[in-house]
Structure 1
Amino acid sequence: MFALIVAGEAVFFLPFVLPRIFRPTLLEVFHLTNVQLGIAFSVYGMVAMLAYFPGGPIADRFSARKLMSFALVATSIGGFALATLPSLAGLKVLYGFWGITTILLFWAPLIRATRAWGGTKLPGRAFGILDGGRGLVAAAIGSGAVVLFSFFLPAEVQNASFDQRADAFRQVIILFSGITFAAAGLVWFALPPPNEPSDDSPNRYEPGGVGRVLRMPTVWLQAIVVVCAYIGYKGLDDVSLYAHEVLEFDEVQAAHVGTLSMWVRPFAAIAAGLMADRFGVARMTMLSLLVFGIGSAVIAAGAFRPGITAFFFITLIATSAAVFALRGLYYAMMEAGRVPFGDTGSAVGIVSVVGYTPDVFMGPLMGILLDRWPGELGHQYVFTVLTLSAMVGLAASISFWHIVRRPT
């Protein structure tokens, strides 16, 4: 599980964690607008959408150890290319490449291996520990990256030259790339070689899994929950820029705000997983979506001004906790939804094709809202989108709860 946790977060350091923590700096160093960065995210999302579906059956048939190790090595190579600070065209190529390495070869094997670890009795704990552990890794590495970034800048951050900012940011990229490469070795040596399942094993691969999963209404409701929760996760990319533009934090302070959001993740995901095994995945999912919606609505209402930081941090922590709790819950819904283990990869592929569509549209949408309405108004529109998504997700989770309560 330790190897799954480290690898499960390291593979996303470069495409997602980096811009989340250092969004203002990334925009400056690469000479990008929010829309241009959103387009790069969209390229990743479109490639990922094509990769999720075939990635599921591949995970059901082949070794997670081999697939995940190769994916990590390839992703890290892309990171070293990013350290050369390529043009916008090169950045879009890199994000498309990462869409293949992180999704086609990595995502479904990670979920399948985690479900196998948790078994039928502790699915909430397994996925809660996975996402909580991933959050702990991301927060620790993210905090270290902020320290490294500030080390290469002068004491007065505002006085740093462009070259100083670019060099400091390059060191952070190299750090993330090296950790991703090291994670490949950890996976290779920590994950055991797969055992061939016997003919009567419930874990064996059987053709037709995609068709079986497509006929399950709980899978479609799970996919809707993932869409709405993932919109919230992508929306949290805006918190560092919000702190910078609305609350007037400097770049390092804004990066610390983004890191604070990440530190909430391990505690929220693990706690949600433990409570899901005790009180039910569906109930915890409904509660998390409700809190996510309320927190987003408060920010969308424009409740914060420079100097009013305590209420902002309380709201940020609560909203982040709800979003990260959902990340620890929404794959545990498979066990509650009675998806056969042998069809796990196929179910992951279908849920992911639908659930991660925000990778395609959220980046450009956020960019358009933030660039067309500069300042606080653009951020309010972003969090209005998050509020609406939470409401839709809550409706889907209530329907899921009604279905799973019925006797088999």
Structure 2
Amino acid sequence: MRTARDWASYLILSMTAGIIFQVAYIRFVFLEPTYTALGLTGQEYGTVMAVFGAVAAVMYFFGGWFADRFSPRSLIVAALAGTGVADLYLTTTPGFTGVLVAHVVMAVTGMALYWSALVKAIGMLGDTSQQGRLFGFLEAVRGVTSTLIGGFGAVLVARAVVPSDGCWR
């Protein structure tokens, strides 16, 4: 990487990689509180997650096609905006169909638009001798960011959920 702008771009890209998937994968930390808050049963939320996983898997195949035809910057901005809109929509507790649609949108934006564009953008920031370091530090920054955001989210959810049970000490 050559300039401060390259380094700033790299840091921002790495951090967005740690943030974009947080809502879609919150079930790994708060399964029951999540489907309860969304007004769904465990079975309905399981269906949503199965559809999300299937759509996400298929979208990986389209990601390279998008990354080859559109600028990584445009794809990343569209993916972050689309994911943000879907996340905000989920706050309205839209019912089963709305939750399903929001998760399909997150699968498309995350895997078809974001992931391949991120890989391409990171690769463009350095020459062949730097690729290992670029992608290694990408994963490190992504992991730290994801842990910090996930921890912050866990504290928020715990403070919101536990007091309703009367068990917060």
- For normalisation by structure 2, the TM-score amounts to 0.80
- Distance verdict in 2 for CA 1:54–1:152, change over 3 Å: closer
Distance, in Å, in 1 between the alignment partners of 2:30 and 2:162 is: 17
Select which of 89, 92, 101 maps to 1:93: 101
The match for 1:84 is: 92
* CA positional deviation for 1:108: 0.6
Instruction: Determine if the alignment matches structure 1 residue 3 to structure 2 residue 12.
Output: yes
**Percentage of pairs with the same residue:** 28
Task: Give the structure, 1 or 2, with the largest relative contact order (CA under 8 Å, sep 6 or more).
Answer: 2
Counterparts of 1:41-80 in structure 2 under 5 Å? Answer: 41-80=49-88
- Distance verdict in 2 for CA 1:154–1:94, change over 3 Å: closer
* CA positional deviation for 1:7: 1.6
Distance, in Å, in 1 between the alignment partners of 2:160 and 2:58 is: 40
Counterparts of 1:123-142 in structure 2 under 5 Å? Answer: 123-142=131-150
Distance, in Å, in 1 between the alignment partners of 2:57 and 2:151 is: 31
* CA positional deviation for 1:75: 0.8
Select which of 141, 165, 168 maps to 1:158: 165
Structure 1 unaligned regions, length at least 5: 161-251, 253-408
For the Cα contact (< 8 Å) 1:11–1:72, is it kept in 2? yes
Amino acid at match of 1:15: A
Amino acid at match of 1:87: G
Distance, in Å, in 1 between the alignment partners of 2:162 and 2:22 is: 26
The match for 1:108 is: 116
Distance, in Å, in 2 between the alignment partners of 1:58 and 1:146 is: 34
Distance, in Å, in 2 between the alignment partners of 1:10 and 1:85 is: 21
Paired residue secondary structure (2:129) = coil
Distance, in Å, in 1 between the alignment partners of 2:158 and 2:106 is: 27
For the Cα contact (< 8 Å) 2:33–2:161, is it kept in 1? no
CA RMSD between the two structures: 2.3
For the Cα contact (< 8 Å) 2:86–2:102, is it kept in 1? yes
Counterparts of 1:199-278 in structure 2 under 5 Å? Answer: none
Paired residue secondary structure (2:23) = helix
For the Cα contact (< 8 Å) 2:67–2:117, is it kept in 1? yes
Select which of 36, 49, 56 maps to 1:28: 36
- For normalisation by structure 1, the TM-score amounts to 0.36
The match for 2:21 is: 12
The match for 2:45 is: 37
> Which ranges of 4 or more aligned residues in structure 1 deviate by more than 6 Å?
none
* CA positional deviation for 1:154: 6.0
Distance, in Å, in 2 between the alignment partners of 1:59 and 1:90 is: 28
Distance, in Å, in 1 between the alignment partners of 2:103 and 2:59 is: 13
- Distance verdict in 2 for CA 1:45–1:149, change over 3 Å: closer
- Distance verdict in 2 for CA 1:36–1:128, change over 3 Å: farther
Select which of 86, 100, 117 maps to 2:125: 117
Distance, in Å, in 2 between the alignment partners of 1:112 and 1:60 is: 9
Distance, in Å, in 2 between the alignment partners of 1:71 and 1:92 is: 18
Deviation by residue 1:292-351 (Cα, 9 ceiling, x = unmatched): xxxxxxxxxxxxxxxxxxxxxxxxxxxxxxxxxxxxxxxxxxxxxxxxxxxxxxxxxxxx
Distance, in Å, in 1 between the alignment partners of 2:41 and 2:137 is: 36
* CA positional deviation for 1:146: 2.3
The structure whose Rg is larger is: 1
Distance, in Å, in 2 between the alignment partners of 1:94 and 1:153 is: 23
